[in-house]
A and B are shown apart, each in its own frame.
Chain A
């Protein structure tokens, strides 16, 4: 291999890195807000409500939204990497929500990372634009006076309560863009609800690249297709991870997925 081709190879390799490497922001946090998230997976069955504590980590230039349990898992994985002490299996939190949302205000980007099947996938989008309507109504939440605002998002109408006392134009999930922090937001059917549980100052370090495995960068279109395939026929994705499973197991997984999909007929985002 001569020098020229070596040089070309190096350039080629690095160009790949430049194109595909997702830039996960990291910084010292300023605030940490937790929300009680409740979501109803079946349209009719009010008993199908699920609950999860979610946390919104706010740094100067970005915010990082994820399940509190998932954050605990990442922290444990980090501790394990540093100290090699294996955590007790029973104490391992089990997150129900496996996606994370990074809102990067400095470059107008949303980074969604989701783990399903045997893979972790990440994609970028421009920050969602919300057309908020401000209302006169006010109420107090946890001692903060809040104002009402409403918006349409992905086929649902949401009512949000935000406080101008905390001038962070952010909120849970993808919601943002009000002149203050969203302390409570729910859709008009109350199928999807986020209510603030705690507000804390923070100075801990947050690296949004912390994941259990290196995420694969894909496009939003690819993500939608993969997710759809996983929901309909998970066996195709389970088997792609290098391990092979017996056919009966995969058939069972597909059967369960079919039943699950039939029951979970109430996704948060009804449209794109």
Chain B
């Protein structure tokens, strides 16, 4: 009975050709690395087949189905060297030790949109319409895509208002 069970299990495995890669990620001093990402890529491509994030013990297990004989395995974690290695598409245990590497992010931020719609109100960011040569706010208003307006309210911060001439 037991043999039949194992045989069935083996058959199932063959049918689905499921590969399981297990392992542990740690740093050079032996401490485990939590929340590192381990990704399986189709060989020399950027398509991720499967991935896993290491748990609180630094362990990961990735199950995937692929017909390729070889796949790329990539281990990434902020503050550590990225490891990329080609592995055979077979169930195996792979442990990795990452060396520390300081990482500085490319800092970015969104520019505020020059025109914002909030409900039935349009808000214009006057700064984004002004130019060096402007002498009065009228010059700026001409450049703003306003067709017609009844009242214009100006909100000017004290430090910016010093060299603005109001003439509407």
User: Which A positions have Cβ atoms within 8 angstroms of B?
Assistant: 30-31, 34, 36, 47, 60-61, 105-108, 134, 136, 142-144, 147, 164, 166-170, 177-180, 195-201
The reply to whether the CB of B132 lies closer than 8 angstroms to some CB of chain A is no
Contacts of B79 in A (CB 8 A): 30, 60
Tell which of A60, A177, A200 touches B53, judged by Cβ atoms closer than 8 Å.
A177
A156 to B25 Cα, complex, angstroms: 33
Given contacts A199-B105, A200-B107, contact A167 B77 (CB under 8 A): yes
Q: Is the CB of A180 within 8 A of B56?
A: no
**B residues in contact with A197, CB < 8 Å:** 109-110
Can you list, as one digit per residue, whether each of B34-55 has a CB less than 8 Å from chain A (1) or not (0)?
1111110000000110010101
* A169 with B37, Cβ < 8 A, contacts A134-B48, A143-B106, A199-B109 known: yes
With the chains together, A199 CA to B107 CA distance in Å?
Answer: 5
Quote the shortest CB–CB distance from A37 to chain B (angstroms). Answer: 13
* Interface residue B104 (Cβ < 8 Å from any Cβ of A): yes
Between A and B, how many residue pairs show CB distances below 8 Å? 77
Chain B, Cβ-Cβ closest to A34: B109
User: Is the Cβ of A47 less than 8 Å from the Cβ of B119?
Assistant: yes
| Overall SS of chain B's interface | loop
Chain B window 98-116, contacts with chain A (Cβ cutoff 8 Å), 1 for yes, 0 for no: 0000001111111000000
Q: How far is the CA of A144 from the CA of B104 in the complex (A)?
A: 14
A259 shortest CB reach to chain B, Å: 20
Q: Which of B38, B55, B79, B110 has the most CB of A within 10 A?
A: B110
CB distance from B60 to the nearest CB of A (A): 11
A201 contacts B104, CB within 8 Å? yes
User: Which residue of B34, B56, B78, B106 is within 8 Å of A167 (Cβ)?
Assistant: B78
- Let me know if B37 and A167 touch, CB within 8 A: yes
Contacts of A61 in B (CB 8 A): 34
